[in-house]
Amino acid sequence: MVYSKDQLLARLKELQIDFSQYEHPVVLTVEAQAKYVGNVGGALSKNLFLKDKKHRYYVVSALADTKVDMKVLSQRLGLGKGGLRMAPEEALGEILKVPLGCVTPFALVNESASHVSLLLDKGFKTQECCIFHPLSNDMSISLNAFGLDKFLKSIGRDPTYIDLEANPPVGKDQPPDRASLVPSGSTVLPDLPEKTPSQDSSGNHPSAGNNSTAVTAKADKPSNAVQNVKEKSVNGVRPLIPSTDAGKFVEELLDRTSTLLLSEISEDSIKRHGGQLGAEVANNIKKCLREDLKNLATIFKNTAYTEGFYAGTHYQPKRL
């Protein structure tokens, strides 16, 4: 049974989710949609229906302004660089049961979409309201991310918000950070609190069970251990965190200097230089650390300048 727009709206009301609805002529693009609901105070969304080479499907729902790089996303999901494509038009109707130009997170209410992975832009959370199509493109509804969450949970979905513009390195030591979002072989049947209206007896699950591993190629470690990409340094020095904290900055400088100092002073070097060891070590430290410390200082300077610049460009002139 395919959900209709009216059924969806009824469901939202049942769940006591606050939303506003706006009817308008059929629109196929965000630009066209903006003409009608661009000024209602909600953030427009762009919604992509994607598929990977193993016929797994994804709905990526983002703020219209968020830049979505399919290559980066593909890598973060562990699909390699060119793993993601726009899904073919037929899939829209078959799986999401929506017409062209109507991709929306709400389409996941349909049984046929139960194995489709949903990626939500974390930017939605900072908006008061976000605008989506409610299963048809002659209407837009505006609701808070909180409301969207409520709806998704009601169909057994765990809403996952990610920073779609992030581009963490993916490689041998850094497994794809979002590999867990790739649909796994076993279809997760939605845990529906109220029975959904009578379903298609065939329970359409197109190409869900292609393989059992959710992660391909690059990741060395199991996909469930979604690792945060941490900066590691070769010689064990703490990773650099951008900051204008003078204390931290000085600690970093002193750390490096004392590490080098300690390595320079050994029984051996004491024997070799005797009283001259001080001058010798001082020279070496200067030689080895000069460039390094200058670089750190430049980063500190640039960060402080940036803070000042930001403050300056947002300053409110005195009211006279």
The residues that touch other proteins, with contacts defined as CB under 8 A, are 67, 69, 167, 169, 171-174, 231, 233-234, 239-242, 292, 294-295, 298-299, 301-303, 305-307, 309-310, 313
- Give the DSSP letter of residue 271: H
Which is nearer to other proteins, 240 or 282 (by Cβ)? 240
Contacts of 201 (CB under 8 A, 6+ apart): none
Bridge-based pairing state of the strands 117-121 and 57-63: parallel
* Closest listed residue to residue 150, CA positions, set 13, 5, 2: 13
Token pair recorded at residue 7? 């059924």
Smallest gap from residue 272 Cβ to other proteins (A): 18
Token pair recorded at residue 253? 């400088």
Which is nearer to other proteins, 18 or 163 (by Cβ)? 163
Which is nearer to other proteins, 69 or 94 (by Cβ)? 69
Separation between Cα atoms, residue 133 and residue 139, nearest integer Å: 6
Give, in order, the Cα–Cα distances in Å from 135 to each of 17, 48, 225: 17, 14, 35
Smallest gap from residue 113 Cβ to other proteins (A): 29
Smallest gap from residue 75 Cβ to other proteins (A): 11
Q: Are 106 and 137 in contact (CB under 8 A)?
A: no
Smallest gap from residue 305 Cβ to other proteins (A): 5
Token pair recorded at residue 72? 């980066």
Smallest gap from residue 194 Cβ to other proteins (A): 43
φ, ψ for residue 246 (rounded to 5)? -60, -35
Which is nearer to other proteins, 67 or 318 (by Cβ)? 67
Smallest gap from residue 292 Cβ to other proteins (A): 8
Which is nearer to other proteins, 276 or 313 (by Cβ)? 313
* Closest listed residue to residue 133, CA positions, set 36, 65, 15: 36
Which is nearer to other proteins, 70 or 265 (by Cβ)? 70
Which is nearer to other proteins, 204 or 259 (by Cβ)? 259
Query: How many C-beta neighbours within 10 Å does residue 102 have?
Result: 25
Residue ranges of alpha helices (H) inside 129-211 are: 145-154
Smallest gap from residue 170 Cβ to other proteins (A): 9
Q: Are 94 and 86 in contact (CB under 8 A)?
A: no
